[in-house]
Structure 1
Amino acid sequence: MAPPLSPAKFADVLRAEGLVVVEVGDWEHHNRNAKGPWGPMHGVMIHHTVTSGSARTVEICRDGYSGLPGPLCHGVITKDGRVHLVGYGRANHAGLGDGDVLRAVINETTLPTDNEAGTDGNRHFYGFECENLGDGEDPWPTAQLLAIEKVAAAICRAHGWTERSVIGHLEWHPGKSDPRGFTMASMRGRIAKRLGAKPQTPTLPEPTKPVVYLSQLAAAARSNPKVKGTPITYVGVRFVETALVNAGLLAKVRLDGHFGEDTVAAYAAWQRRLGYRGDAADGIPGMASLTQLGDKYGFTVVA
């Protein structure tokens, strides 16, 4: 029996393995626990996303889509090797799979061929989605493959598992093909070697500030003002709204996670403060103005 690691421990063991970890909003409390149990944990499952673009990939994996609510995994491994934590608890990533495969993972024996789908995998596996189109042609950069290796080894190390506790989605559910572009046998070989070695230090600078994705923020800003219906929300809006409150441009009572008319007006005032005029001060965040806001009030901007 392996109870789930705490969110703090989960992030710590990844960093201890030398990974660059990006914490996305309230990931520690974002889960599907209301839909069923989570744990005991038996393994790590690797997926590919069939998406391109890191910001879009992280957003989809955090929020999900029509018919499949997020989170769709616990961590997103982007092509640059960063691990974006988007949820913690039960997540919609594994679905139903083969009970014989689960028993082999628990016993750390040779995997049987998956030929049925009747066992709940969301309950028992940590899930990592990896940014890749999954067409067999989209490349897997060295940094990304190394991050997959490190992620799996870190969790195995924390639970006392071997590399046999790491599987691909294609080994769990008949008909699935992910991850496509490398073999899980080769990845388990890498993980086994790493488990016999000491953790390495990070090769990339580790961000210490919250991350705001410009593309998501601009989309939220464009869609909310004067538009009827449910406004688009994005966790990064709160960081920006808080910065605008601290800058004295937005009333604290308007800090609601929606980039509504008041937030657009406040952001336009920030743009004017920076010297923008006319259409350049339209309240829609741009890279230069948002970066200056982040530098001053403590968040990192990613395109």
Structure 2
Amino acid sequence: MANPLSASAVLAALRAEGVRVVEVGNWRTHNRNSRGAWGPLNGSIVHHTVTKGTDATVRIVRDGYADLPGPLCHGMIAKDGQVHMVGWGRTNHAGGGDPKVLEQVIAESYGTAPSKPARGNSNGTDGNAHFYGWECENLGDGKDLWPKAQYDAIVRVQAALCRAHGWTAKSVIGHREWSSDKVDPRGIDMTKLRADVAERLQRPASWSPGKTTPTPPKETPVSTTDDRVKALHTNLLSIGEIGTTAKGTPSGRVEHGAGYYLAHLLNEVRALRADVAALKKEK
């Protein structure tokens, strides 16, 4: 259990995790708090919207419908990976769900997935009081694809919340895992999603898949004039590659700025001068 993050705190957590956030209108105070409690919070629920088009979807999740007023979530995760914040506080996203599932999420005690929910919207526990909610732009027909940027943003959002609260990935569930009469988010394997969230939580918030820490080149002792000439040549080539590497050319070898290599050039030139002076003396 946890007190809800403040609007400022959730923004900081999301941005630290690399999420691209769009703030929509008065989202910080747009909520359904007059209708019931929000908190203590126990987890986060992922949904799909059954809509198409980011602008239209943002309007729907912010304003809601005639029989279901908005906001319908806290943030909407678009196809391009941007997260549109539309509300903060109690929102109409979770509805009723299974109290047994809530107990499992609170204790983070289940295996790869919570037990199948036996209750739904009409006879379940009030999930709007206990969960953050994230609508994801998708038709929900099992055919609409989940772009990589969108899926990555879903993972980052859930990891940001878990990291902020000290939760594990088992605090993240799909709407269908909460309520017996829901199918969302259709097309997302929630077990895999939790595994991907868990992987992020083992890394710094700034981590991106495929990004490695650069390894500095080895320093090798230079003992002969021939070795010094070779080292001089290598560092000159490295300086020449710095400009192209910065533009994304896949050389993959340059890990330092020009100053690093210039310092080595200076030392190598001095050593070569000493060699030449020694040769002159021998003659």
- Whether these two folds match at TM > 0.5 is yes
C-alpha distance in 1 between matches for 2:207 and 2:55? 26
C-alpha RMSD over aligned residues: 1.3
C-alpha distance in 1 between matches for 2:208 and 2:138? 23
Superimposed CA distance per residue, residues 188-232 of structure 1 (whole angstroms, 9 cap, x where no aligned partner): 0100000001122799xxxxxxxxxxxxxxxxxxxxxxxxxxxxx
Shift of 1:84: 0.4
Structure-2 residue corresponding to 1:115: 118
Match of 2:132 among 123, 126, 131: 126
Structure-2 residue corresponding to 1:85: 85
Structure-2 residue corresponding to 1:172: 178
Q: Is the 8 A contact 2:200 2:207 kept in 1?
A: no
Shift of 1:109: 1.3
Please state whether the residue corresponding to 1:69 is helix, strand or coil: coil
Superimposed CA distance per residue, residues 91-130 of structure 1 (whole angstroms, 9 cap, x where no aligned partner): 0000000000000000001111100132000001000000
Superimposed CA distance per residue, residues 115-159 of structure 1 (whole angstroms, 9 cap, x where no aligned partner): 013200000100000000000000100000000000000000000
Identity within the alignment, %: 58
Give the letter aligned to residue 135 of structure 2: E
Match of 2:194 among 188, 193, 196: 188
Q: Is the 8 A contact 1:19 1:202 kept in 2?
A: no
C-alpha distance in 2 between matches for 1:191 and 1:201? 12
Shift of 1:75: 0.2
Structure-2 residue corresponding to 1:98: 98
TM-score by length of 1: 0.66
C-alpha distance in 2 between matches for 1:107 and 1:144? 29
Give the letter aligned to residue 151 of structure 2: L
C-alpha distance in 1 between matches for 2:187 and 2:61? 20
Structure-2 residue corresponding to 1:41: 41
Give the letter aligned to residue 198 of structure 2: A
Q: Is the 8 A contact 1:49 1:131 kept in 2?
A: yes
Superimposed CA distance per residue, residues 158-212 of structure 1 (whole angstroms, 9 cap, x where no aligned partner): 0000000000000000021000112100100100000001122799xxxxxxxxx
Structure-2 residue corresponding to 1:276: none
Match of 1:139 among 137, 141, 145: 145
Q: Is the 8 A contact 2:24 2:86 kept in 1?
A: yes
C-alpha distance in 2 between matches for 1:11 and 1:120? 26
Structure-2 residue corresponding to 1:72: 72
Superimposed CA distance per residue, residues 215-272 of structure 1 (whole angstroms, 9 cap, x where no aligned partner): xxxxxxxxxxxxxxxxxxxxxxxxxxxxxxxxxxxxxxxxxxxxxxxxxxxxxxxxxx
Write out the 4+ residue segments of structure 1 that deviate beyond 4 Å after TM superposition. none
C-alpha distance in 2 between matches for 1:6 and 1:186? 29
Give the letter aligned to residue 21 of structure 1: V
Give the letter aligned to residue 134 of structure 2: F
Structure-2 residue corresponding to 1:160: 166
Give the letter aligned to residue 107 of structure 2: N
C-alpha distance in 1 between matches for 2:49 and 2:55? 13
Please state whether the residue corresponding to 1:122 is helix, strand or coil: helix
Q: Which runs of 5+ in 2 are unaligned?
A: 210-283
**Larger Rg: 1 or 2?**
2
Give the letter aligned to residue 185 of structure 1: T
C-alpha distance in 1 between matches for 2:131 and 2:175? 11
Task: State how many pairs are aligned.
Answer: 203
Structure-1 residue corresponding to 2:15: 15
Give the letter aligned to residue 127 of structure 1: G
Match of 1:197 among 200, 203, 220: 203
C-alpha distance in 1 between matches for 2:19 and 2:89? 21
